[in-house]
Structure 1
Amino acid sequence: MTDDEFDLDLEDLSSAEDFLTYFEIDFDPSVVHVNRLHILQRFHDYLEQVEEMPDSGIARRALYADLLKSAYRDFVVSDAATEKVFRVFRMNEPKSVRVALSDLTERMPDAARL
């Protein structure tokens, strides 16, 4: 497999199922159905952590397969809320803010008459 062939193959993949099938990873469709975006995002995150990408297409394919299998397994043994892949799951709880009534009436003088 050449680098170009591998890159062209990747361009044709569009869904989590496509990726898992291409890399010959057995998967439970019900897990993928619920977590498809989380699995692909985790796979992307794992790829970004690779310091030096292998030169050959065969070595890259093996690395991608291992990382995708790890990403998939993360959601077999856990769930999206626990794994917190997307930023929305990592956001802090809303903070309470107190505003004195006098501060509001100073800014809106007509409000005091209501």
Structure 2
Amino acid sequence: MSDFTDDLDDLETAEDFLRFFQVGYDQRVVNVNRLHILQRFHDYLGADSGLEGLDDSGMADRYRVHLERAYQDFVVSTAIAEKTFKVHKEEARKMADRFVPLDSLLGSPV
């Protein structure tokens, strides 16, 4: 195990990650979105096929970029809009399935 992964093991909260990777943050954004930020960060890391073979410095740089991106997603949007968790994705799908065009309620124009 590398020093970098040892350091990661010590991080517990969203604030721990943000401080460790030196990502500036607004506590109000984190208070509302902490789990969403961490989940999005995890998703970005999972989608990054370029992490293999990087040294600790390269990994730290890449992780920082993904964490900054994840945090910014929730600065400019909301957890509901971002549909971070499965429950949000399922709810959006259900809403789309329940969508009824206004024209169908009013009937055809005469």
1:65 maps to 64
| SS of residue in 1 equivalent to 2:94 | coil
Q: TM-score, normalised by structure 1?
A: 0.78
Distance 2:83 2:12 in 1: 23
2:8 maps to 10
Identity %: 45
| SS of residue in 1 equivalent to 2:46 | helix
Instruction: Answer with 1 or 2: which has the greater Rg.
Output: 1
Q: Deviations over 1:67-110 (max 9, x none)?
A: 000000000000000000101011132879xxxxxxxxxxxxxx
Structure 1 runs, 4 residues or longer, greater than 3 Å off: none
Map 1:1-114 → 2, pairs under 5 A: 4-53=2-51, 54-91=53-90, 92-93=93-94
Q: TM-score, normalised by structure 2?
A: 0.80
Q: Which ranges of structure 2 fall in alignment gaps of 5 or more residues?
A: 99-110
Q: Which ranges of structure 1 fall in alignment gaps of 5 or more residues?
A: 97-114
Aligned residues: CA RMSD: 1.6
Aligned residues between the structures: 94
Shift in Å at residue 40 of structure 1? 0.2
